Chains A and B, each alone.
Chain A
């Protein structure tokens, strides 16, 4: 598909070079370049935290680069705001949607340019009439007056594309458009994107999924740890192995972890578990002292599975056993208090921590009830004595225990969100994406920490879409795709072998 429409000879529309962007404590982008031609679909690949989103935000004027140059049609340009980028013809279709659900499709498309009548009255007939051609262009089969809230995720995406086209977008950035839609809808989306390519729109396609790159894209740029792992390579010149190597780098950069004892008895077991009616059954076993990796891409159903295991989502069918005994856990609270299961959320800011509250309160939150002396009173000295060992074990760095946790670095925040479970003496830890948005060095420290926890007899269910992480830490690896476990692999620790085996399960 890509060969026949190879864009050789098409003019360069956007040229980005030497981009550097630094945030407090982390260099998000370092000397990054990207070249985009009219009429091509350019894949922007990279793992979580590689810098894709930061680059997209720089291209759309949300962030300003610290260094580097952006040329649009050969002319150097700076986008001072998202509005400036939009005016220059650069639109983005976001992961998080940007439409107003209560408004109609047509109103959303023409939001900034509502046609009016008389004294600034919106001309609804004109809105629907003007929006119609754009809706038809993306092949969307809904009336212009339909409320966006009634549409599916895939349809909403098409509305966003229609809106971008109506804004005369010549460059369209698609941020993981296939993360949350069905394979059938993906096929449809690809046809639309192919149409846009023929209309000489320049498309950037951000994705995790390698098969989509080979199916759809003409050229590819890969980011790794904020740098170009490859820049502007023709997809036709690549095979899958090369692309994987670009994305995750060489296996030898991963240092060896010390040996740990063999896993013991099964502590957590799910059999025939169905999270949503119609989904396949899921069975898994987690042993004492084991790290069980649960690898899958965003939307594979991993977090939903984790929440079902602790009973926060009521399973449609199936059993959960803890230490061999069949049980119906009724949510996070019971999971912790009765079964010593802790859940470290993937979203530490939204779900893991109370950012305004102190390191102390965020760590001791799980054990307040155990700290009470007479009556319901908590003595601060007892509180600090109970949490300091955990904080020290994780080497949390803060000015004092009273420092608001929101002022710590991302890595230290993550350590606090794990420390509270250590303080609560959780024996089974479900850790969801522990190193998203965390720099390489702290990432390595967190890996050693998770390893040490398992070595000391805790059991860890490690949910991650970071392949090196899963291969480095896991005793066994479950591969999850479309809400089903599609493979269980004993981990040999051989990176190339394992990554290939995992990839094979995913395609």
Chain B
């Protein structure tokens, strides 16, 4: 009879925040090099990119679907952009716009396929993932486009104090996404469609538009992440995005997303990605075996999933808190 509240968003976010702060304090004390300009810059830059990757997954998860092609989209966008600039001398701005539009188009293809065929998004995006990666390899034959224009590669190295400039872009996009999902009609329709597609349809919501929007945003964020990694590397590497699948899921899941859809924990995802990069960075700094990083992240995911399975009433029963009597709404405002 109890309802499983798989998204304990506020409590979970607070817990993650505490862990993050403690982690930062501990690393600052234990390893002085943690606060070095170089370390903050490098870690911040990786985080800026991977956070977008995680958000690209989160927005599709909030619809109750998945996108396995995030990395392939990021890679394809990066090599198309760099190819246009390097091989065809297309101006930087035009190449970037083309790349971002391509990312959105890839997302829309995913969305249309899922909506039309009703086939599970896991299966479909597994397919498109191979298709996008295949186009990438077909074009590049696995050879990077070297020597991208300096405007782009210097953006990848730019910093203000120890902070990477690209972090500003990520922060802006994160805030925009949160606003969109929580405050804008289409965003809330998207969440409702994820929470219960039948109820959303019965309430007259445009399910197709919500589906396409979620996948388009996912493609767009993947494209931005691919572009940023290209800027950081200074070249259009065909391997860009190849390792993104696991972190893309780890962030939202540790952050409290329900795989069944309906929840979009932007803050949780941010804090989870901070935690993952702290673990990553910390283990490197203390000269721990880097091969154990994956193990720790795995343990984190398992912990988050078990916690997410716990219902609010289980926790209340555990803490022996009585929910009190519900009242009429006259008194609530």
- In B182-214, the 8 Å CB interface with A consists of 183-186, 188-189, 191-192, 195-196, 198-206
Residue A492 lies at the interface, judged by CB distance under 8 Å to chain B: no
Chain A min CB distance to B271 (Å): 21
Contact present for B184 and A351 (CB under 8 Å): no
Instruction: Note all chain A residues with C-beta closer than 8 A to B333.
Output: 384, 388
- Residues 67-81 of B, flagged 1 when their CB comes within 8 A of A and 0 if not, give 000000000000000
Considering the chains assembled together, what is the distance between the CA atoms of A352 and B202 in angstroms?
Answer: 7
Contact present for B196 and A23 (CB under 8 Å): no
Chain A min CB distance to B105 (Å): 22
Q: Which of B185, B189, B192, B333 has the most CB of A within 10 A?
A: B185
- In B204-261, the 8 Å CB interface with A consists of 204-206, 258
The answer, among B6, B203, B327, for a CB contact under 8 Å with A332, is B203
Chain A min CB distance to B75 (Å): 32
Chain A min CB distance to B191 (Å): 7
Instruction: Note all chain A residues with C-beta closer than 8 A to B1.
Output: 23-24
The answer, among B5, B7, B185, B202, for a CB contact under 8 Å with A368, is B185
Of chain B, the residue at the smallest CB distance from A394 is: B329
Contact present for A366 and B203 (CB under 8 Å): yes
Residue A440 lies at the interface, judged by CB distance under 8 Å to chain B: no
Q: A356-B195, A357-B191, A404-B3 are in contact. Are A396 and B203 (CB under 8 A)?
A: no
Contact present for A376 and B332 (CB under 8 Å): no
Contact present for B324 and A399 (CB under 8 Å): yes
- Residues 313-342 of A, flagged 1 when their CB comes within 8 A of B and 0 if not, give 000000000000000000111111100000
Chain A min CB distance to B224 (Å): 21
Contact present for B192 and A388 (CB under 8 Å): no
Residue B151 lies at the interface, judged by CB distance under 8 Å to chain A: no
- Residues 344-375 of A, flagged 1 when their CB comes within 8 A of B and 0 if not, give 01000011111111000100011011011001
How many residues on B have C-beta within 8 angstroms of the other chain's C-beta atoms?
Answer: 38
Residue B32 lies at the interface, judged by CB distance under 8 Å to chain A: no
The answer, among B185, B198, B200, B329, for a CB contact under 8 Å with A350, is B198
The answer, among B192, B199, B206, for a CB contact under 8 Å with A351, is B199
Contact present for A392 and B185 (CB under 8 Å): no
Contact present for B204 and A396 (CB under 8 Å): no
Considering the chains assembled together, what is the distance between the CA atoms of A408 and B191 in angstroms?
Answer: 20
Considering the chains assembled together, what is the distance between the CA atoms of A388 and B192 in angstroms?
Answer: 20
How many residues on A have C-beta within 8 angstroms of the other chain's C-beta atoms?
Answer: 48
Contact present for A378 and B204 (CB under 8 Å): no
The answer, among A332, A336, A397, A401, for a CB contact under 8 Å with B326, is A397
Q: List 16 A-B contacts (CB under 8 A).
A: A333-B205, A333-B206, A336-B203, A337-B204, A351-B196, A353-B196, A354-B262, A356-B6, A357-B192, A361-B188, A388-B329, A391-B329, A392-B329, A396-B328, A398-B327, A399-B332
Q: What 6 A-B pairs come out closest when comparing CB atoms? A: A406-B3, A354-B195, A333-B204, A336-B204, A354-B196, A397-B326
Contact present for A335 and B3 (CB under 8 Å): no
Considering the chains assembled together, what is the distance between the CA atoms of A397 and B189 in angstroms?
Answer: 25
Residue B42 lies at the interface, judged by CB distance under 8 Å to chain A: no
Considering the chains assembled together, what is the distance between the CA atoms of A89 and B310 in angstroms?
Answer: 36
Residue B323 lies at the interface, judged by CB distance under 8 Å to chain A: yes
Residue A182 lies at the interface, judged by CB distance under 8 Å to chain B: no
Of chain B, the residue at the smallest CB distance from A405 is: B3
Contact present for B198 and A351 (CB under 8 Å): yes
Q: A332-B202, A351-B199 are in contact. Are A399 and B263 (CB under 8 A)?
A: no
Contact present for B329 and A365 (CB under 8 Å): no
Q: A24-B1, A354-B200 are in contact. Are A408 and B188 (CB under 8 A)?
A: no
Of chain A, the residue at the smallest CB distance from B324 is: A399
Considering the chains assembled together, what is the distance between the CA atoms of A368 and B190 in angstroms?
Answer: 12
The answer, among A24, A333, A354, A407, for a CB contact under 8 Å with B199, is A354
Residue B285 lies at the interface, judged by CB distance under 8 Å to chain A: no
Residue B113 lies at the interface, judged by CB distance under 8 Å to chain A: no
Q: A351-B202, A376-B184, A401-B329 are in contact. Are A356 and B263 (CB under 8 A)?
A: yes
Considering the chains assembled together, what is the distance between the CA atoms of A351 and B262 in angstroms?
Answer: 14
B residues within 8 Å of A by Cβ?
1, 3, 5-7, 183-186, 188-189, 191-192, 195-196, 198-206, 258, 262-263, 312-313, 323-324, 326-330, 332-333
Instruction: Note all chain A residues with C-beta closer than 8 A to B323.
Output: 399
Residue A52 lies at the interface, judged by CB distance under 8 Å to chain B: no
Considering the chains assembled together, what is the distance between the CA atoms of A299 and B225 in angstroms?
Answer: 53
Contact present for A356 and B7 (CB under 8 Å): yes
Chain B min CB distance to A432 (Å): 11
Residue A343 lies at the interface, judged by CB distance under 8 Å to chain B: yes
Instruction: Note all chain B residues with C-beta closer than 8 A to A395.
Output: 328
Considering the chains assembled together, what is the distance between the CA atoms of A23 and B5 in angstroms?
Answer: 20
A residues within 8 Å of B by Cβ?
23-24, 331-337, 343, 345, 350-357, 361, 365-366, 368-369, 371-372, 375-378, 384, 388, 391-392, 395-401, 403-404, 406-408, 412, 420
Contact present for B204 and A356 (CB under 8 Å): no
Q: A356-B5, A384-B333 are in contact. Are A397 and B192 (CB under 8 A)?
A: no
Instruction: Note all chain B residues with C-beta closer than 8 A to A24.
Output: 1
Contact present for B329 and A378 (CB under 8 Å): no
Considering the chains assembled together, what is the distance between the CA atoms of A357 and B3 in angstroms?
Answer: 11
Instruction: Note all chain A residues with C-beta closer than 8 A to B330.
Output: 392
Instruction: Note all chain B residues with C-beta closer than 8 A to A333.
Output: 201, 204-206
Contact present for B185 and A407 (CB under 8 Å): no
Q: A351-B199, A354-B195, A407-B313 are in contact. List 12 more A-B contacts (CB 8 A).
A: A331-B201, A332-B202, A351-B202, A357-B192, A365-B188, A376-B184, A376-B186, A378-B183, A399-B323, A401-B329, A403-B326, A412-B326
Q: A355-B196, A368-B189, A401-B329 are in contact. Are A343 and B202 (CB under 8 A)?
A: yes
Of chain B, the residue at the smallest CB distance from A356 is: B262
Instruction: Note all chain B residues with C-beta closer than 8 A to A352.
Output: 199, 202
Considering the chains assembled together, what is the distance between the CA atoms of A480 and B112 in angstroms?
Answer: 40
Instruction: Note all chain A residues with C-beta closer than 8 A to B6.
Output: 356
Contact present for A357 and B262 (CB under 8 Å): yes
Instruction: Note all chain B residues with C-beta closer than 8 A to A407.
Output: 3, 5, 312-313
Contact present for B202 and A399 (CB under 8 Å): no
Contact present for A398 and B200 (CB under 8 Å): no
The answer, among B184, B191, B204, for a CB contact under 8 Å with A366, is B204
The answer, among A337, A345, A350, A378, for a CB contact under 8 Å with B188, is A378
Of chain B, the residue at the smallest CB distance from A371 is: B185
Instruction: Note all chain B residues with C-beta closer than 8 A to A336.
Output: 203-204
Chain B min CB distance to A37 (Å): 34
Of chain B, the residue at the smallest CB distance from A365 is: B203
Instruction: Note all chain B residues with C-beta closer than 8 A to A343.
Output: 202
Of chain B, the residue at the smallest CB distance from A380 is: B183
Considering the chains assembled together, what is the distance between the CA atoms of A47 and B184 in angstroms?
Answer: 44
Of chain A, the residue at the smallest CB distance from B189 is: A368
Considering the chains assembled together, what is the distance between the CA atoms of A395 and B329 in angstroms?
Answer: 7
Contact present for A355 and B3 (CB under 8 Å): yes
Considering the chains assembled together, what is the distance between the CA atoms of A343 and B3 in angstroms?
Answer: 24
Q: Which of B183, B192, B326, B327 has the most CB of A within 10 A?
A: B326
Considering the chains assembled together, what is the distance between the CA atoms of A354 and B199 in angstroms?
Answer: 7
Of chain B, the residue at the smallest CB distance from A364 is: B188
Contact present for B200 and A335 (CB under 8 Å): no
Instruction: Note all chain A residues with C-beta closer than 8 A to B313.
Output: 407
Considering the chains assembled together, what is the distance between the CA atoms of A369 and B203 in angstroms?
Answer: 12
Contact present for A357 and B195 (CB under 8 Å): yes
Of chain B, the residue at the smallest CB distance from A372 is: B185
Of chain B, the residue at the smallest CB distance from A412 is: B326
Contact present for B185 and A369 (CB under 8 Å): yes
Contact present for A378 and B185 (CB under 8 Å): yes
Of chain B, the residue at the smallest CB distance from A391 is: B329
Contact present for A365 and B5 (CB under 8 Å): no
Chain B min CB distance to A330 (Å): 11
Chain B min CB distance to A263 (Å): 26
